[in-house]
A and B are shown apart, each in its own frame.
Chain A
C-alpha cells in the first residue's frame, strides 16, 4: 500500500539488471520499501548491486525471466502478487537490436519480441492484477525514438511506438480503477545499451532519467521526457515537413 506520503511498500523491477531501471529504483523513496521484486534473466546479478543501495530491511525477491518465453509471463506476474499488494511495477526490459552477429531480420524479430510483445504483455498482465487490488502504478520505458521513424532506428522506434500506443490506450481504459500507467520517453541515455555509440544531442545519464521517472509516479502527468526539452523537440519533429526531417535526422 502507498502510505500517507505516497511512498511504496512493494516495487517490482522487470529488467532488473537495466541501468535505467536500477537508477529509478534508487531514486524512489525507500522509507517504506518492504519488498522489491527483481525480475531478470540473471536476477542474482541485479540483487548483488541493488543490495548495496537499498535499505537492509528491504526484502529482495529474485525472479527468473526470459522475455521471449511469453507463455511463462503469467507465472512470473503471479509471483509479484503472491505476498500481497504490488504498489509499483517498472518495466525496463528492452534491446536496441544492433547485434552484429545476426542479420537485420533476426535483429528486428528480437527487438519486436522483447520491446513490444514481451513488455506489452507484461503490462497487460500486471494491470489486470492491479485492477483487482484497486490500485497500482505501472511505468514503462518508451523512447524519444518512437516520435517519428528514422532510417537508423525505425525498427527499434516502431517497437517502442507500439508499446507507447498500447500504454496510452490502456491507461485511458483503466480510468477510475485506481491503476495508472506512466510512460517515460528518454532520449539518448549513457548506459550499457548505448555504449560505444556516438552521442545524440541532449544525451543524459540514467540518474537524470530516474528523476523524471520518479516525478512521473508522483504527479498527474502520464508522459515524461528526459531531458524535458525533448517534449518540444518531439513536437517540432512531428510537424516538420518530411524533406527537412530526413535531412536533419540522417545527418
Chain B
C-alpha cells in the first residue's frame, strides 16, 4: 500500500498542508482502506490540484490520489463516455476529438480531473448556453465512507446524493467514474472573434449582446493602470463542416506546454510595472479573427506551465464571485477597490452566467462572474476582501469555493442558502464524518 507523508498546496500556493498521501493501486484496495478508516482527521480525494485554496487538502489526515482511476470508454451507439475520475479534461478532449465528439463544458485549463470537475461543478465559456459541468453528467459512481460503491443518477431515488456530490467538494465521497454526454463536433476548430473594448460599460454590453449569437464568450479585463475595465472580449462558435472546408487548416496547437516557470523562491515577479507593461501589450495584441484550434481557444494558459510560481512564496488569491444582473456598479466598485489596493493583475476574467444547476453547492447562477488573481502579500488585502464578501452577501452574490482559502464561515449560509439542505444529505451519506478537508474545517462546512 502506498502511503507517504507530504506537504501539498493548492494552485494559489498560499496554504501548505502536511498530510498522508495515499495512492491506491486498485478499487478493491481503496474500498477496504476507506471502510477501515481510523484516522480521526478523515480523508479527502484529490485530482490535479488545480483548485486554488484548501479544497483538496487535509492537514493531519489522509489525501487520496484519484490518478489511478484512468478508465476511458466510449459507448458504441451514443455520444456518451464512461470516464475514470482521474482522467484529465485534456485527455478526454483529445480522445473525444478523434471520434468527432467533445465535452460541452470545459474549464480554462485542460489540467482538471473529471472528479474535480464534478466536485466543483465547474463552468466554461459556454455557461450561458450549456450550464455547468453537471449538465452533461449522466451517472456518478461514488465510493461512500462505509466502503460501499453506488451509482448515482440526476433523477430518481439517488438524485439527492447525486446533486449533493455535484459541487460537493469531495465531502460526500470519492467519485470513481462518471458517464458524460458529449456533443458532436465536426472539426476541432472554433471560429473566433475578438474585440477590444475601452471600459467596463462597453465590455458588459458587448458580452451580453454576444451571448445571443456565440456559443462561447468571455472577456479578459485589464487590472492595471486606471482599472476602468478596458479589455478584450473573446467570442467563438464551433466550426461546422461546410465552413471549415472553406477555411484554411487551423493552426495546430502544441500539446506539450512550451514554457516552464522556474522555482523563484520568496520573490514575486508581480509588481505594478511588470503587470502594467504586460497588460498594455496584451490589450494591444493583434486580435484573433478567424478559425482557431479548439485547444488554444479553450485553454490559452496551458501553453505555460507552473505560471502560478510567478507570485513567489506567499502565493496568490484568486477572488472569483458572481453577482446577479443589476449589480454592475459592484463590478465597478471592485475595480476601484483593486486600484486603491495596488492589486495589479494579469488575470482578470469576466463572464455572464446563464442558469444555475440543481446542486445546492454549485457556484454558477445567473449574473456576472469576475475572477481576479491577486498576490497574497498585499497589505490590507484580507480585510478588503472580507468587506467585499459582506457587500456580496447584501447583493445576493457568492464566491466560488474551489478558488477559496480565506472566506469567513459566517458568510457561507447567506452565499449558499441551501447549505443546510446539503449538510443534511451529506450527513446522511457520511454519518461518521470521514470525508473532511482543510476547507471543510475552516468553513465549518460539515
Taking Cβ atoms with an 8 Å cutoff, the residues of A that contact B are 1-5, 7, 9, 29, 31-32, 34, 57, 84-85, 132-135, 176-178
Distance in angstroms between the alpha carbons of A84 and B440 in the assembled complex:
11
Q: Tell which of A4, A5, A31 has the most Cβ of chain B within 10 Å.
A: A4
Among the 9-residue stretches B53-61, B152-160, B341-349, B360-368, the one with 4 or more Cβ atoms under 8 Å from chain A is B53-61
Known: A9-B442, A132-B40, A134-B17. 19 other contacts (CB 8 A): A1-B59, A1-B438, A3-B14, A3-B405, A3-B406, A4-B12, A5-B382, A5-B406, A31-B383, A34-B409, A57-B410, A84-B444, A133-B59, A133-B60, A134-B59, A135-B17, A135-B60, A176-B18, A178-B60
| A interface footprint on B104-139 (CB within 8 Å = 1, 0 otherwise) | 000000000000000000000000000000000000
Least CB distance, A6 to chain B, in whole angstroms: 8
List 17 A–B pairs whose Cβ atoms lie within 8 Å, in order of A's numbering.
A1-B54, A1-B59, A1-B441, A1-B442, A3-B382, A3-B405, A4-B376, A5-B14, A5-B381, A7-B382, A29-B382, A32-B408, A34-B409, A57-B410, A134-B17, A134-B41, A178-B59
B317 CB contacts on chain A under 8 angstroms: 4
Which 9 residue pairs of A and B lie closest in terms of their CB atoms, listed nearest first? Answer: A134-B60, A4-B14, A4-B405, A1-B442, A134-B59, A4-B406, A5-B382, A31-B382, A3-B406
Nearest CB in chain A to that of B5: its residue: A176
A236 to chain B, nearest CB (A): 31
Q: Chain B 369-387, CB within 8 Å of chain A: the 1/0 string?
A: 0000000100001110010
B21-42 CB contacts (< 8 Å) to partner A: 40-41
Task: Pick the contact of A134: B18, B381, B382, B444 (CB < 8 A).
Answer: B18
Report Cα–Cα, A47/B149, bound state, in Å: 50
A176 contact set on B, CB distance < 8 A: 5, 18
Contacts of B60 in A (CB 8 A): 132-135, 178
Asked if B180 is at the interface (CB within 8 A of a chain A CB), the reply is no
Q: Shortest Cβ distance from B62 into chain A, in angstroms?
A: 11
Let me know if B168 is at the binding interface, CB within 8 A: no
Given A134-B61, A176-B5, A31 contacting B15 (CB threshold 8 A): no
* Set of chain B residues within 8 Å of A133, measured between Cβ atoms: 41, 59-60
B172 at the A interface (CB under 8 A): no
- Does B231 interact with chain A (Cβ within 8 Å)? no
Which residues of chain B are within 8 angstroms of A2 by Cβ–Cβ distance?
15
Contact with A along B302-317 (1 / 0, CB 8 A): 0000000000000101
Smallest beta-carbon distance A80→chain B, Å = 16
Complex CA gap A234/B60 in Å reads 38
Interface assignment of B189: CB less than 8 Å from any CB of chain A = no
**In the assembly, what is the distance between CA of A34 and CA of B317, in Å?**
21
Question: Residue B19 at the A interface, CB < 8 A?
Answer: yes
A176 to B5, CA, bound (A): 9
Instruction: Tell me the B1-22 residues at the A interface (CB within 8 Å).
Output: 5, 12, 14-15, 17-19
Q: Which residues of A contact B381 (CB under 8 A)?
A: 5
Contacting residues, chain A, for B14 (C-beta < 8 A) = 3-5
Closest to A134 in B: B60
Contacts of A134 in B (CB 8 A): 17-19, 41, 59-61
B53 proximity list for chain A (CB < 8 A): 4
- Contacts A132-B60, A133-B60, A134-B60 given; does A3 touch B15 at CB 8 Å: yes
What residue of chain A has the Cβ atom nearest to residue B15's Cβ?
A4
The B59-100 residues at the A interface (CB cut-off 8 A) are: 59-61
Q: Once the chains bind, are B18 and A178 in contact (CB under 8 Å)?
A: yes
